[in-house]
Amino acid sequence: MSTEQTETVRPTATMTGRAATRAFREGGAHEGTGRASAARVSALARDVLARIHEVIREHDVTYPEYQAVKQWLIEVGEAGEWPLFLDVFAESVVEQVHNARREGTKGSILGPYYLPGQRALPARCTLPMRADEPGLPLIVEGQVRGLDGEPIAGAVLDLWQADAHGYYSGFVPEIPDGNLRGVITTGADGRFEIRTIQPAPYEIPKDGPTGKLLSAAEWHAWRPAHLHLIVRGRGYRNIITQLYFEGGSWLDDDVASATKPELVLAPKPDAWGVQRVTYDFVLDPA
Ligand code: MBD
Ligand code: FE
């Protein structure tokens, strides 16, 4: 490592990227990969290519630049970073289109770090964590309801988050599998009370091709601290969303453009000095 390096850069990109690519291939929150008609493929491919041609003309793209782009695209694939790159730079718009007509809780992007099949937990629970888990304790409580205010009995919250250093279990070797992940089932009243710790903002790994693009363009690599959730109820539309923290860094400058004002929590210390917040989820009918 060079001596002018002022901070330690953890070599995480390739490990994280490969694990994210594997997680995507094994399937997760969205139903498979769509099969489009020839007409749809033709229309989308034609328009994507036409826009690339436009950029080449507009910016007088040179052969060295064209070759550099080709090299970079090869590296993104080799590092397994397509899930990371696409979820950071494109998914927010797919989410907006997908959820345009939803009336209940706002959605946000799934991102590359969801893992299905995590530990089943009761409505009042503590997320699996290490004995010495760093971070400020946090309690999130609330209720899952339908649009008319009816409690959704047995609603399920699939929750995952980064730790207090911004790392996700299952994607870095130091964290035990299943850490800060869980599948919570509410009671008949749709209520839940989840103990966890406050996550840290997430920084895209600097040592991979996505990080290289960010530094070459002098863009920052940060997402604000967030909790990921998929909330499900029988007879209701699933919501994939994220919750953020008031006053947190990068809230107004998320590299993934995935924040929404309705999704910002403002935890306050309770009688025991523990940060506590109420957030109710409202599901649209299926
Ligand atoms: C994350 O933690 C995340 O949620 C997204 C969408 C992209 C990269 C890292
Ligand atoms: Fe995330």
2 confidence band (pLDDT: 50, 70, 90): very low
Half-sphere exposure of 219 (CA within 13 A, CB side): 17
Which residue's CA is minimally distant from atom 5 of ligand 1? 111
Which of 202, 262, 261, 256 is closest to 16 using CA atoms?
202
92 confidence band (pLDDT: 50, 70, 90): very high
4 pLDDT above the threshold of 80? no
The minimum-distance atom of ligand 1 relative to the CA of 110 is 6
pLDDT single digits (tens) 199-220:
999 999 989 999 999 999 999 9
255 CA from centroid of ligand 1 (Å) = 9
pLDDT single digits (tens) 221-233:
999 999 999 999 9
113 CA from centroid of ligand 2 (Å) = 7
pLDDT single digits (tens) 78-90:
999 999 999 999 9
1 confidence band (pLDDT: 50, 70, 90): very low
pLDDT at position 136 is 97
**List of domains in the chain:** 8-283 (2.60.130.10)
Phi/psi of residue 243, nearest 5 degrees: -115, 135
Measured from the CB, is residue 88 less than 6 Å from ligand 1? yes
Query: What is the average per-residue pLDDT within 164-168?
Result: 97
Q: Average pLDDT of the chain? A: 94
Contact 228, 256 (CB under 8 A): no
113 CA from centroid of ligand 1 (Å) = 7
8 pLDDT above the threshold of 70? no
Contact 139, 274 (CB under 8 A): yes
pLDDT at position 11 is 57
pLDDT single digits (tens) 107-118:
999 999 999 999
Task: Provide the percentage of residues in the chain whose pLDDT is more than 90.
Answer: 90
